[in-house]
Structure 1
């Protein structure tokens, strides 16, 4: 998932966040609600925002869903631009594009 940090807020690109689908996969819908629950803002057609206070929870959530084997790496890994520093707390679940 494409990510960036601006003014200490983590943004996940809105096209990369999981979609909720009524009657869809329980795992994907659970993933959607878990990510939404810890987000500061989740605008329709807007990037999702995460405050630094929840980055540890985000890391654990991404690791947990990645280890489940139901979701692909592109869905559970944060992708930062090459010129952006990855915070230490997110290094286990992040890479550069």
Structure 2
């Protein structure tokens, strides 16, 4: 991450930033991402940890079987019937 930040990027792609991380450190990682975002860096995050997704993202795209199932704010995604059916079997 330090090397990436040294290039002064406008956009950073993070693929599963919480995967394999000690759960006690995930909050600290999220705090850093929020700080960098406030400093003007945008992030495209691929993540399966929904707590991380909901806390970091202001717009979410949900994919199912390679297609866009839904997109919207965290609140919209949490209430989307298609998302609930696909991921929770609701």
**Normalised by the size of structure 2, how large is the TM-score?**
0.39
Larger radius of gyration: 2
**Normalised by the size of structure 1, how large is the TM-score?**
0.37
Higher relative contact order by CA 8 Å / sep ≥ 6: 1 or 2?
1
